[in-house]
Amino acid sequence: MISLIDLKRQYKSISQEIIESVKEVFESGQYILGPKVAEFEKKCAEYLNVKHTIGVGNGTDALVIALESLGIGKGDEVITTPFTFFATAEAIMRVGAKPVFVDIDPLSYNIDPEKIEEKISERTKAIIPVHIFGQVCDMKKIVQIAKKYNLYIIEDACQAFGAEFEGKKAGTIGDVGCFSFFPTKNLGGFGDGGLIVTDSDEIAERARMLRQHGSKKKYFNEMIGFNSRLDEVQAAILLVKLKYIDSWNRRRIKIAQKFSTELKLDGLVTPKKCNSFEFGHIYHLYVLQHEKRELIMEYLAQKGIATGIYYPVPLHLTKALSFLGYKEGDFEVAERLCKKSFAIPMFPELTDEEIEYITTSINQFGGNL
């Protein structure tokens, strides 16, 4: 069976480095906000070319703390996409604000900048663009809109560590960037983990306080915060993996290029790279579209090829957000994509033989149409 992502292969390739790094943590006796977290934050700041990096418990907490650090809360509105993981909207709701959805661009699958302005109201405080599947949003247009209306930008870059736009890394273009180190991410740990990045001293100070019970100094709490700190063991693992992120992302890009060139099934829509930057799309997932999605997925399962649906329901139609009053037909592009899209295996350790087998199998499905 070819998995959507095979984490065992990646571990095998760097296992000795991982073991040595984690062993240092065990022997140090410093398990919370120790030297590995400090070193990882420093190395990430250098890699991303950003002033501040704050390690937190997970990507969802990164979004919540980022929103709180900007003072966004009850009565405020935040514009975002309905085509993303639930955490994006969940974080907005967690701080008491209201998510306001904007449909997506049919080529990039990212929020459509041309539709943002019509959703801005006097209550709008921020935009959360999501760099979905590893492709960076059109940040030039989004930044222009944010400046025009004096709005914050919180980049949900949870699927886009290492992606870039006009010479800047994803997550460093807006006021705050948020990353997830969930194991299946391009840069993933062996458990949960997250990161907040910003060039603002003020935002960084608030984020650091919020991640640790609202305090700068232990037992001297200045605000109501969270217990959300990047684990020392995860930092040790991520430090090793950070060295390989560019080479792994280049391999993903090469695999995606092979898929896009060799897949010939009638009616199949392959993902489009909508910019010219080397790391403009780093293919966290490789998502296809077809009217007969379920039949193709069933066929591939018989061939020993795993598939997945990202996402089966757009956020505006989820039960948890039904009180917002959206209905089917409100965001046609996102809804159509949820009905037609499916992902095929994508991870750096995929072999050329496996890539050929996957593309041949999909192309052969044409005989069943």
Task: Read off the pLDDT of each residue in 328-347 and give the average, rounded to a whole number.
Answer: 98
Residue 205 and residue 346 in one domain: no
pLDDT of residue 155: 98
Structure token digits, residue 138: 């059109």
**Residues spanned by the domain of 267:** 245-364
Q: How confident is the model at residue 367 (pLDDT cuts 50, 70, 90)?
A: low
Structure token digits, residue 118: 């019509």
Task: Read off the pLDDT of each residue in 271-290 and give the average, rounded to a whole number.
Answer: 97
Among residues 185, 264, 327, 339, the one annotated as catalytic is 185
How many domains in the chain?
2
Residue 225 and residue 349 in one domain: no
pLDDT of residue 2: 98
Residue 128 and residue 234 in one domain: yes
State the average pLDDT for the chain: 97
Final residue in a domain of this structure, among 239, 260, 283: 239
Q: Is residue 2 a part of any domain in this protein?
A: no
pLDDT of residue 338: 98
CATH code, domain carrying 32: 3.40.640.10
Q: Is residue 57 a part of any domain in this protein?
A: yes
Residue 137 and residue 28 in one domain: yes
- 243: annotated active-site residue: no
Residue 176 dihedral angles phi and psi, to the nearest 5°? -140, 145
Q: What is the pLDDT of residues 129-173, one digit of tens each?
A: 999 999 999 999 999 999 999 999 999 999 999 999 999 999 999
Q: Is residue 301 a part of any domain in this protein?
A: yes
Residue 36 and residue 167 in one domain: yes
Q: Is residue 142 a part of any domain in this protein?
A: yes
Residue 198 and residue 258 in one domain: no
Sign of CA dihedral 268, 271, 274, 278: negative
Angle at 15 between CA 13 and CA 18, to 5 degrees: 125
Q: What is the pLDDT of residues 45-58, one digit of tens each?
A: 999 999 999 999 99
Residue 125 and residue 21 in one domain: yes
What is the percent of the chain where pLDDT is above 70? Answer: 99
Residue 82 dihedral angles phi and psi, to the nearest 5°? -85, -5
pLDDT at 369 over 80: no
Phi-psi region of 336 (alpha: psi -120 to 50; beta: other; left: phi over 0): alpha
Sign of CA dihedral 145, 337, 133, 88: positive
pLDDT of residue 165: 97
Of 20, 143, 155, the closest CA to residue 88 belongs to 155
pLDDT of residue 366: 73
Q: How confident is the model at residue 368 (pLDDT cuts 50, 70, 90)?
A: low
**Which residues are within 8 A (CB) of 333 and not within 5 positions of it... i.e. 6 or more apart?**
103, 104, 105, 106, 112
Q: How confident is the model at residue 183 (pLDDT cuts 50, 70, 90)?
A: very high
Q: Is residue 1 a part of any domain in this protein?
A: no
Final residue in a domain of this structure, among 185, 213, 239: 239
CATH code, domain carrying 302: 3.90.1150.10
Integer Cα distance of 102 and 146 in angstroms: 15
What is the percent of the chain where pLDDT is above 90? Answer: 99
Task: Read off the pLDDT of each residue in 201-209 and give the average, rounded to a whole number.
Answer: 98
Q: Is residue 369 a part of any domain in this protein?
A: no
Q: What is the pLDDT of residues 244-268, one digit of tens each?
A: 999 999 999 999 999 999 999 999 9
pTM: 0.97
What's at 229, amino acid-wise? R
Task: Read off the pLDDT of each residue in 180-201 and give the average, rounded to a whole number.
Answer: 98
Integer Cα distance of 56 and 367 in angstroms: 50
Residue 132 and residue 220 in one domain: yes
Q: Is residue 128 a part of any domain in this protein?
A: yes
pLDDT of residue 94: 98
Give the DSSP H/E element, type plus range, for residue 215: strand 215-217
Residue 40 and residue 186 in one domain: yes
The strand pairing partners of 288, in sequence order, are 342
pLDDT at 206 over 90: yes
How far is residue 277 from each of residues 75, 104, 284, 347, 369, measured CA to CA in Å?
38, 21, 16, 20, 37
Integer Cα distance of 341 and 196 in angstroms: 30
Residue 250 and residue 226 in one domain: no
Integer Cα distance of 189 and 15 in angstroms: 13
Place of tokens 């400046």: 147
How far is residue 98 from each of residues 103, 224, 278, 295, 354, measured CA to CA in Å?
16, 21, 35, 38, 44
Q: Is residue 158 a part of any domain in this protein?
A: yes
Place of tokens 């560590």: 161
Final residue in a domain of this structure, among 194, 209, 239: 239
**Strands 124-128 and 77-80, bridge-based pairing:** parallel
Residue 234 and residue 285 in one domain: no
Phi-psi region of 325 (alpha: psi -120 to 50; beta: other; left: phi over 0): left
Residue 85 and residue 135 in one domain: yes
